[in-house]
Structure 1
Amino acid sequence: MRADRLVSLVLLLRQQGRMSAAALAEELEVSTRTVLRDIEALSAAGVPVYAERGRHGGFALLPGFRTELTGLNPDEALALLVAGSRRGAQAFGLGSSLAAAMLKVVDALPESYRHTAAGVAERLLIDPETDLLSRRLVDDEVPDAVAAEVLRAVLSGHRLRIRYAAADQDPAWRTVDPIGLVTIRDRGYLLAARSGEDRTYRLSRILAAEALAEPAARPARVDLDRAWQERSTRFRTGGDQVTVRVRVDPARREELVGTAVAVLGEEAEEADEDGWLRLDVAFQDARHAQWALWQLGTQAEALSPQWLRDRLHERAAALASRYARGRV
């Protein structure tokens, strides 16, 4: 771990120029004291790093210094394979490995290309943390220790013991045969088998994980895309799904469809005289349906079933009553 960090420190100084101890500590996710110890170790090893004093000082390398220590370790190589989605790397606990790998990739480029690449990178921003309304995009939080154990079991082909908190259930331990990891819409999922039955676990709901010594009972090869599609189909067509007939403002149609499990009979979609659209959509369960329609406010109306209209009416009436009591 320290050897990788020392390489990353050198590459940061090569690519960024002079950097303060605090900035290096932030990039490397360590303390300032650790950075100072690493700088001392590099100097002792003959790396020409020097300190510049003053308000705008920091650490830098002598001009022209170049290292060939650009080999990728296994985690960094794996991080590059999922680098098409920065959030995907974070979901699988590979965020720091991705950052280190990208430093090595940039450093391996010829000098003329390296400066061009750095300039291009400054003009591309992918998946910022907030949207145009300054709303912070909330990702699933997966503890590093959990992500590391799950990933280890998936890659090594060993059984995995997890403490899982399913929706509306108390956390419980279970042993599964891990098959693969999937990230979609900033959420990570573990595809596994339990007692021979397919299971899908949301990573953020795994409270603890332990890779076991016992080999997993799973096929030697897997088509993850196909497996995900099959599970998605079963999810959409099974369980306690609720079908709702909805009238919606065209401006909010995509938002409605985006929250639904499926749109039923899109060819039968019709428009009212006022331009609003009528369509049938399926939701995971009653709570999901109520939540989705409530988010759309007055720009959507559930036409059926009646119990859903009643629940939305009761909730709206309670809210109106709360605010009708006058100011405090």
Structure 2
Amino acid sequence: MRADRLVSLVLLLRQHGRLSATALARELEVSTRTVLRDIEALSAAGVPVYAERGRHGGFALLPGFQTELTGLNHDEALALLVAGSRRGAQVFGLGSALASAMLKVVDALPESYRATAAGAAERLLIDPETDLLARRLVGEEVPDTVVAEVRGAVFAGHKLRIHYAAVDQAPKWRTVDPIGLVTVRGQGYLLATRSGADRTYRLSRVLAAEELDEPAQRPDRVDLDRAWQERSTRFRSGGDQVTVLVRVHPERRQDLVGTALAVLAEEADADGWLRLEVTFQDSRHAEWAVWQLATNAEALTPQWLRDSLRDRAAAIATCYGGSS
């Protein structure tokens, strides 16, 4: 870990010219005291780092210093493969590796390309954390120790023991054969088999994980995209699905359709509103989807959904009916 940090420190100085101990600590996610110790270690190893005092001082390398410390380690190479999604790297516990790998990639560029690439990168923002309405995309917090064990078992082809908290169930230990990892909109999933049956586990519900020495029972090659599509289809076709008839304002049609499993029928009412027959995963899913549209949608059937939405609205009206 320290060797990687020393490499990153040198690359930061090469790319920025001069940085204060505070700036280096922020970039490397360590204390300023650690940065000062690392500077001393580099100097002792013959790396020409010098300090400039004053208000605009900091640490820098002697002009013209070159290094071959750009070799990517395993996690950094892996991080680059998932760099198409910055949140994907975070979900799989590779965020710091991605940052370190990108430093090495930039450093490996010819000097004439380096400034151009850096300038171009500043003009591209991929997958930001909020949309235009300032709605923050909700990610998942998964402990690094858990992700590391899961990721290690997936890549090594070993069995995995997980302490898993399924919905409405007490957590319990399971031993599974991991197949692959998938990230969808910031949510991470482990695809695995258990006793030969397909299983999908949400990473945020894995409370603890332990990679075992025993080889996993799984095919040598897998089409992960196809496996995910098949499991998604089975998920959508199972459970306690409900069909709902909804009137919705045309401008909010996509919001409703985007949350439904399927649209069975659609027609326009005389007032311009749309009448849609849609399917949801279960009653909770249906209630949430219609509720979020407020007065821009009305559930016509079934009656239990109308009653549930009415009771929820009445409870909120009561809450805000009096003075604070």
| Bin of the TM-score, shorter chain as denominator length | over 0.9
Which residue of 1 is the match for residue 323 of structure 2?
327
1:301 shift after superposition: 1.2
Map Cα deviations across residues 184-227 of structure 1 (whole Å, 9 max, x no partner). Answer: 11111100111111111111111111101111111111000000
1:297 equivalent among 294, 307, 312: 294
Unmatched segments (≥5 aa) in structure 1? none
Which residue of 2 is the match for residue 174 of structure 1?
174
Taking the TM superposition and a 5 Å limit, the aligned residue runs for 1:101-250 are 101-250=101-250
Which residue of 2 is the match for residue 264 of structure 1?
263
| Matches of 2:160 and 2:107, distance apart in 1 | 37
| Matches of 2:188 and 2:74, distance apart in 1 | 21
Which residue of 2 is the match for residue 6 of structure 1?
6
2:308 equivalent among 306, 311, 323: 311
1:279 shift after superposition: 1.8
| Matches of 1:57 and 1:127, distance apart in 2 | 36
Residue 155 of structure 1 aligns to which amino acid in structure 2? F
Which residue of 1 is the match for residue 18 of structure 2?
18
| Matches of 1:247 and 1:189, distance apart in 2 | 35
Q: Aligned-residue CA RMSD in angstroms?
A: 1.4
Unmatched segments (≥5 aa) in structure 2? none
Residue 51 of structure 2 aligns to which amino acid in structure 1? A
TM-score normalised per structure 2: 0.96
Moved over 4 A (4+): none
1:130 shift after superposition: 3.1
| Matches of 1:120 and 1:206, distance apart in 2 | 39
| Matches of 1:40 and 1:132, distance apart in 2 | 46
1:318 shift after superposition: 1.8
1:24 shift after superposition: 1.4
1:147 shift after superposition: 0.7
Cα separation, partners in 2 of 1:182 and 1:308, compared to 1, 3 Å: same
Which is further off, 22-31 or 226-235?
Answer: 22-31
1:128 shift after superposition: 2.6
| Matches of 2:137 and 2:36, distance apart in 1 | 34
Give the conservation status (yes or no) of the 8 Å contact 2:263–2:279: yes
Q: Secondary structure at the match of 1:84?
A: coil
1:277 shift after superposition: 1.8
Which residue of 1 is the match for residue 270 of structure 2?
273
Residue 296 of structure 2 aligns to which amino acid in structure 1? Q
Which residue of 2 is the match for residue 50 of structure 1?
50
Instruction: Give the fraction of aligned pairs with identical amino acids, expressed as a percent.
Output: 81
Equivalences, count = 324
| Matches of 2:66 and 2:252, distance apart in 1 | 55
Give the conservation status (yes or no) of the 8 Å contact 2:262–2:280: no
